[in-house]
């Protein structure tokens, strides 16, 4: 709260809590002297806020009875933080509705900002760009997200309607252990009542949902993020891949995220096991790692690596 504007707003927040406050107490809470408190009160009066002063040795300030403050008052830093958060959330796919919700929230924020600050924020939004990728959105319903969040926090089971990727619908009971946002999608992981095991579900595929009676305990050491990423790596794509990487486990973990596959330390390196829909992409990944490797399966991956090597040699010799 080093800037005077921030301290003036802090004084307003204190007065808004109701009652009268003496100058000495306000000075202590704001970290300034009493003369500065009086100057801040004058600033509020200049802004049209009816601050009433009490004279005398133990004088102080209060807001005029019945005065209704504007719904939102922000410093420049707070306003920019909110607007950038909305913009970043939309780009990352973090929003839980279409762009209309983000746009309307930004418009409402602008209406309560001073005109000069609103113009500066408009300039920022018009000229800024972000180098990160724009994520394809798969927004869940806001009710789905909030019901699951409350259930996970308070450890209440839920009953939900779920549709799989191939269109099969079912009713499921779930003990939600945690929510995870990854690559533009929301996931919930927890104990599926039907199977009795930990499962992961996409929130955008959940229809009706309601909390049910009862409680549950999260297993000790359970990592929702790790479980979701491991589940994504084991999706039954067309090809089962196993490659021995001649490097250390620490180096492999720095380059290969859990969503790609499972890394296991073995006697002569690290075994990467993964599922792949297209082997040409797996060949390109292996080439990009820069480590020696031995392909254990499938044999078709060896052919893809040879084909990639041939194309690279052709490109390297081009123009000679």
Q: How does DSSP assign 181-212, residue by residue?
A: EETTEEEEEEEETTTSSEEEEEGGGEEEEEE-
pLDDT at 2 over 50: no
pLDDT value at residue 198: 94
- Look at residue 130 and tell me whether its pLDDT is greater than 60: yes
pLDDT at 248: 95
The whole-number pLDDT of residue 99 equals 60
**Predicted pLDDT at 276:** 85
- On whether the CB atoms of residues 209 and 172 are closer than 8 A, the answer is no
- Comparing 30 with 148, the larger pLDDT belongs to 148
The pLDDT, as a whole number, for residue 3 is 60
The mean pLDDT of 303-319, rounded to a whole number, is: 89
Return the pLDDT at 285.
93
- 3-class DSSP assignment, residue 18: coil
Q: Which residue has the higher pLDDT, 271 or 235?
A: 271
Alpha-carbon distances of 200 from 213, 218, 250, rounded to whole Å: 22, 15, 27
Q: How confident is the model at residue 1 (pLDDT cuts 50, 70, 90)?
A: very low
1 against 213, higher pLDDT: 213
Q: What percent of the chain has pLDDT over 90?
A: 40
> Does 286 score more than 90 pLDDT?
yes
Tell which wins on pLDDT, 125 or 304.
304
Res. 194 pLDDT band, cuts 50 70 90: very high
What is the pLDDT of the chain when averaged over all its residues? 86
The mean pLDDT of 199-223, rounded to a whole number, is 93
61 forms beta bridges with 21, 53
- pLDDT band for position 29 (50/70/90)? confident
Radius of gyration of the chain (CA): 29
pLDDT at residue number 161: 95
Q: What is the mean pLDDT of residues 193-202?
A: 93
Write down the pTM of the prediction.
Answer: 0.60
């Amino acid at each position: 709260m080093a800037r005077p504007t921030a301290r003036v707003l802090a004084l307003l927040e204190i007065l808004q809590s109701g009652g009268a406050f003496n100058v000495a107490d306000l000075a202590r809470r704001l970290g300034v002297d009493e003369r500065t408190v009086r100057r801040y009160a004058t600033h509020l009066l200049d802004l049209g806020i009816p601050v009433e002063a009490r004279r005398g040795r133990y004088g102080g300030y209060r807001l005029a009875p019945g005065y209704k403050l504007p719904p939102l008052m922000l410093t420049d830093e707070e306003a920019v933080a909110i607007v950038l958060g909305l913009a970043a959330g939309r780009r990352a796919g973090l929003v839980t509705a279409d762009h209309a919700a983000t746009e309307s929230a930004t418009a409402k924020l602008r209406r309560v900002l001073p005109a000069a600050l609103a113009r500066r924020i408009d300039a920022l939004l018009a000229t800024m760009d972000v180098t990160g990728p724009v994520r394809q959105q798969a927004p869940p319903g806001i009710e789905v997200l909030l019901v699951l969040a409350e259930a996970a926090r308070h450890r209440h089971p839920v009953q939900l309607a779920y549709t799989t990727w191939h269109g099969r619908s079912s009713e499921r009971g779930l003990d939600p252990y945690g929510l995870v946002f990854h690559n533009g999608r929301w996931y919930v992981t927890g104990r599926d009542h039907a199977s009795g095991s930990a499962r992961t579900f996409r929130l955008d595929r959940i229809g009706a949902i309601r909390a049910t009676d009862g409680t549950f305990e999260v297993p000790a050491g359970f990592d929702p993020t790790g479980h979701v990423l491991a589940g994504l790596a084991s999706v039954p794509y067309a090809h089962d891949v196993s490659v021995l990487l001649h490097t250390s486990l620490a180096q492999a973990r720095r380059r290969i995220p859990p969503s790609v596959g499972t890394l296991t330390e073995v006697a002569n390196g690290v075994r990467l096991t993964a599922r792949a829909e297209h082997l040409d992409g797996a060949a390109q990944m292996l080439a990009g790692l820069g480590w020696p490797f031995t392909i254990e399966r499938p044999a078709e991956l060896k052919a893809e690596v040879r084909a990639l090597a041939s194309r690279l040699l052709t490109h390297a010799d081009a123009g000679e």
